[in-house]
Structures are given as C-alpha cells and as structure tokens.
Amino acid sequence: MINKKFSEIISFLKKNKLYKQNFHNKFVFYSKDNCSGKIFVSINMNQKTQKKYIIEAIENGAKAIILDQKIKIPNTFKNIPILYSKELKNNYNEFFNYIYSEPLNKMTVIGVTGTDGKTSQLHILAQCFSLSGDKIGVISSEGNGIYPKLQSTDYTTPRIDILYKYFYFFKTKRVNKILIECSSQGLEQDRLINIKFDISILTNINKDHIEHHKSIKNYIKSKFKLMNMTKKHIFLNQDCKRTKKNIKLITSKAKQHLYNSHINLDLYKIKIPQTISNLYNLRATYEILKIYKFSSQSILELFNKLKPVNGRNQFIKTKNKGIYIIDYAHTPSSLLTLLKEIRIYASINSSKIITVFGCGGNRDVWKRKEMGRISSVFSDYIILTDDNPRNEKPMKILNDIKQGIKITKKVFLIPSRKKAIYKAISLAEKNDYIIIAGKGNENSIMYKGHKLAHNDYEILRSRIK
C-alpha cells in the first residue's frame, strides 16, 4: 500500500522508471557509499554541503536525486532527475519505515541509555535473552548484528539509514527482540524518532557531552526522550539523584519501575565481577526477566552462565604482576565509581593502585582537570596517556589533566598508549591493581587525520602471562 505522504516520491520514481515493489535497496543516503544506479537522498544540511554531496553522489553513479530544498546543480548534471520533497524532511524516519515495510512490526524493542554503564547493561540483557533461546538483534557501541556475532561500528547509535538496514536484516532473520543502545546525540538528533520502544532503561545521568548539548539541562532532556518513546515499561535507577529529580519530564504512560543495586539471589557462582555497576545491571536485568515470567531460579541459572563484557569491568589476573582492570570509564563519574571500588579491594592487602587513562580531544575540556583530581585521590601511580586526541596536541591534553593532580611526583606523561601500558606493567607487583581506563574494547586511537590500531587488552595480553 502506498503511503499518501510519499505518493509524490513514488510518482517521481515511476516517471523515471526507477520504481520497484521492494525498492529499499534502490536508495542511498551517504554520497561516499556505492551510488551506482541508485537514488541519492539528502536532507537537513546547509546548501553548500548538500551541493557538495550531490555532486559526489552523481559522480559515484547516482541516477536520481531527492532533496528537501531547491539547490542549483551544475549544468553538466542537468539530465539527472531531481525531486524536491517537503514531506520527506518532516517524515524522514517514517519514510524508512515505509520503504523497509515496517521492519519493527511485531518486534519487541528495548532501548538502553545513560551516562555510564549502558553498554554493559545492554550486553548482560542480550546474553540472558540469547541463553534462554531468543534470537537477539543488537545495536551497540560494541557492534551491530545478531548476538553474539556483531560487526564493529563507529557509532553508538548509527545514522537512520544504517539503523533501518539492520532492522530489515533482523526481520528477515526472524529476530525476536532488538536491543538498542541509545546515545544522547542519537536521541537529540532524532535518529530514533517514531520508534516505539516496549521497554527502556535509564542507567544514570551524570555530566557528559556538555560541549555538544551546550548545557546539562539539554543533555538530560535528550536522555528522557527515550522514556517518552516507551509504551510499556520504563526502568529508572532510584539511586541516581538527577534521574529522580527529572522524572517529571516523563510524559509516557508506560509503567515506571525504580531499581537499585540490591538483588535477592546467591551470586557467588557468577563469572562476571560483582562491581557496583554490574550489580545495578543485574538488578535491572532481573526485573525485566521477571516481566517475561522467568522464575528467580531460572534467572540465577542464566546469571551463572554470563560472560564478562570485553572492556567493561574486565579483570585480568596474573601470577606476579597484579590484577588488571580494563574499563571504558571516560567520565569523572565512571572513573570515580571504578577507583572507589578498587580502593576497597586494594586496602585488603595494602596493594598499590596504578591508573592509566587520558581524555578525548576536541570535546569536554571541563572534565580533564576533574578526572586528574579524582585519579590523584585514589591512585599510588598515575600514567596519563592518549585517548583519541583527534585534532589536539596530545601533550596539551595530558597537561590539562595534570593540573588537577596535586601530588605529581608519581605521575608519568606518556602519550603512546602502548608504552603507557608497558610502564604500568613495569611498576606493578604481585597484589597491585592496575586500571586501564577510557578505551574499553575499542580497536583504534583517533589522531589528526588517521587512526592508529590499538586494543588495550591485546597490548596487555602480548606483554603479560
């Protein structure tokens, strides 16, 4: 059935002999993709940029163009059919839903957002559903695909066209449930608009991405967008003050559930570390599984089979060189939570804490000094190193962090992350705790104009036994 909103587009395709019944693969939305024989669609950008992309798409073989505004195209391309559609701009996500034949229809969709812990939360939940026999589609910063076989990605929440390609793929593979990690940018930019979530989880709200959102108020509003797209159940961390303070932003009629880190199960057999963040994730997972009529005993059996999430509270024990913790902690709040907990472990044997971390370039400069201060409170040695410097000079970022560190005699500035990890290993003794924070399971470091292949775990594994 033709959606009346898009009848103009369908007529345009038929007129130019580009229409097919299953025509989702006839569109392309990124000018650097394979445009040969396809219709290039471009909306929501300034005319200069849009013109550049149109020319690039045509040079790459695009046979027609659909835009949301009139743009003067060079005469050399005058034979290329062009449609200007106002309806497309106002109904972009609905258009994808139409061309992919409502891929989410009859599908359970679960969204996870929050400043810290959302990736771990999603993957623990995905593991439990998968272990119980469900076929799970995952959209996550750790990768996209049918769990656990995920393809690496550069985005937490991808562009709309990428999202719908995966939704359609999940539909063809008869996936039962889709779990989506929802970033604040993805929510704010409406990449998920018009998606009806059955369940949503808000792990916590702390200060992050302020340079993008301009204020903590806007950042909070972006997170709560997910709650207002949820139709059945909303799970909120009751120990997060910012979450509780802003519950009034929820206008959805979905049932609200408050959860904490306490769980009435005997967890002594579980393989994943019982850190405070994992306990919150397990509790939320427990409550969701209860909605699906799992018994407490069956949930415990699932928990006992869980595998640690790579790069998230990942503990690596060695014979003589201490215990290493690789974690994605890249905000002041997540670094504080991690270090406070490791300090408790370290105090049992009077062990040292060696902390390796950095901060990203070209964003959130405010957090550098604060993360330096936090690390100095809990660490015996601090090694400052690169964490995606992007277009900034690495040493400038490290010196910005160092300003927050009061006692600097046990601080090392080593831009090379590989060498920084090697330095940590050289300082480590048998019972020490070595925290390698900020990158998690990422496979590269972003420098100006290039990516350097790097994975914290692989570097560590190559050096220790």
> Beta strand 323-327 with 433-437: parallel, antiparallel or unpaired?
parallel
C-alpha distances (whole Å) from 118 to each of 58, 100, 168, 329 are 40, 28, 24, 12
pLDDT of 1: 54
The CA distance from 174 to 178, in Å, is: 11
- Cβ 148 vs Cβ 156: under 8 Å: no
4-99: CATH number: 3.40.1390.10
Q: Could you tell me the CA-to-CA distances from 286 to 178, 298, 327, 456 in Å, in that order?
A: 18, 10, 23, 31
C-alpha to C-alpha distance for 463 and 352, rounded to whole angstroms: 20
Q: Which two tokens stand for residue 1?
A: 């059935």
146: helix, strand or coil: strand
Structural contact between residues 40 and 57, judged by C-beta atoms closer than 8 angstroms: yes
**Collapsed DSSP state (helix, strand, coil) of residue 416:** coil
- Report domain extents, the chain: 4-99, 108-305, 314-461
DSSP 236-263: EETT-HHHHHTGGG----SEEEEE-S--
Strands 444-447 and 108-113: unpaired
In the prediction, which pLDDT does 406 show?
A: 87
**pTM for this structure?**
0.92
Distance CA 2, CA 359 (A): 50
| CB 25 within 8 Å of CB 36 | no
Which neighbouring-strand residues pair with 433? 323, 353
Q: Report pLDDT for 327.
A: 97
Q: Are 372 and 364 in contact (CB under 8 A)?
A: no
- The fold for domain 314-461 equals Protein-Tyrosine Phosphatase; Chain A (3.90.190)
Q: Which residues of the chain have pLDDT under 50?
A: none
**For residue range 283-312, what is the model confidence (pLDDT) as tens digits?**
999 999 999 999 999 999 999 999 999 999
Please check whether the two domains, 4-99 and 108-305, share a CATH topology. Answer: no
Q: Dump pLDDT digits (tens) for 428-454.
A: 999 999 999 999 999 999 999 899 999
Predicted confidence (pLDDT) per residue in 379-412, tens digit:
999 999 999 999 999 999 999 999 999 887 799 9
Contact 262, 179 (CB under 8 A): no
The set of long-range contacts for 87-94, using a CB threshold of 8 Å and a minimum separation of 24, is 87/5, 87/6, 87/8, 87/9, 88/6, 88/9, 88/41, 88/43, 89/43, 89/44, 91/5, 91/6, 92/43, 92/44, 92/160, 93/160, 93/190, 93/192, 93/193, 93/194, 93/195, 94/3, 94/5, 94/194
CA angle (406, 358, 332) in 5-degree steps: 70
User: What distance in Å separates the CA atoms of residue 420 and residue 425, rounded to the nearest whole number?
Assistant: 9
Q: Where do the DSSP E strands lie in 318-380?
A: 323-327, 353-357
**Options 3.40.50.300, 3.40.1190.10, 2.60.40.10, 3.30.70.100; CATH of 108-305:** 3.40.1190.10
Residue with tokens 């020490």: 432
